[in-house]
Amino acid sequence: MLRAGLRISALRDVHLGKYDIIVIGGGVTGLAVAYDLALRGLKPVLLERNDIMSGTSGKYHGLLHSGARYAVNDPEAAYECAVENKIIKEIAGHCVEDTGGYFVLLDEEEYYDDFKRGCKENQIPVKDVDVGEALREEPNLNPNVKAIVEVQDAVLYAYKFAVSLGLAAKMNGADVRIYSEVIGLLREGKHVVGVKVLDKINNRVYDEKAEITIVAAGPWSGKIMNMANIQNVKMVLTAGTMAVVPYRLSKKVINKMRVPSDGDIVVPYGNNSIVGTTAYVIDDPDNYTIPPEDAEFLMEEGSAIFPVIRKIGFSRMYSSIRPLISMNEEIDTRKISRRYEIYDHEELHNVEGLLTVIGGKFTTARAMAETISDVVCKKLGVKKVCKTKETKLPNPIEMLNVEQLRTKGYPESLIKRLLEKKGTIDEELLMNTLYVLIASSLW
Residues binding ligand FAD (CB under 6 A): 24-30, 47-50, 54-57, 60-63, 65, 181-182, 216-220, 224, 240, 242, 277, 320-322, 360-363
Q: State the virtual CA torsion across 318, 321, 322, 327 in degrees, nearest 10.
A: 150
Task: Using the minimum distance from each CB to ligand FAD, give the nearer residue, 151 or 400.
Answer: 151
Taking a C-beta distance cutoff of 8 angstroms, is the pair 205, 344 a contact? Answer: no
> To the nearest whole angstrom, how small is the minimum distance from the Cβ of residue 427 to ligand FAD?
26
| Least spacing, CB of residue 357 vs ligand FAD, in Å | 7
Q: Which amino acid is located at 212 in the chain?
A: I
Contact by Cβ (8 Å): 381, 369: no
Q: In this complex, which beta carbon is closest to ligand FAD, that of residue 278 or of residue 441?
A: 278
**Structural contact between residues 68 and 78, judged by C-beta atoms closer than 8 angstroms:** yes
Least Cβ distance, residue 1 to ligand FAD (angstroms):
32
Chain centroid to CA 423: how far?
30
CA distance 138 to 135: 5
Q: Which CB, 45 or 321, lies closer to ligand FAD?
A: 321
Of 80 and 405, CB closest to ligand FAD:
80
Closest approach of ligand FAD to the CB of residue 183, in Å: 7
> How near is the Cβ of 240 to ligand FAD at its closest, in Å?
3
Closest distance to ligand FAD from the beta carbon of 414 (Å):
28
The CB-of-143 to ligand FAD minimum distance in angstroms stands at 26
C-alpha separations of 197 from 24, 49, 115, 184, 266 in Å? 10, 9, 48, 7, 39
Is 58 or 396 the residue whose CB approaches ligand FAD more closely? 58
- Terminal Cα distance for the chain, rounded: 34
| Closer CB to ligand FAD, 55 or 396, in the complex | 55
Beta carbon nearer to ligand FAD, 20 or 264 = 264
CB of 308 to ligand FAD, least distance (A): 22
Give the nearer residue to ligand FAD in terms of CB position, either 147 or 298.
Answer: 298
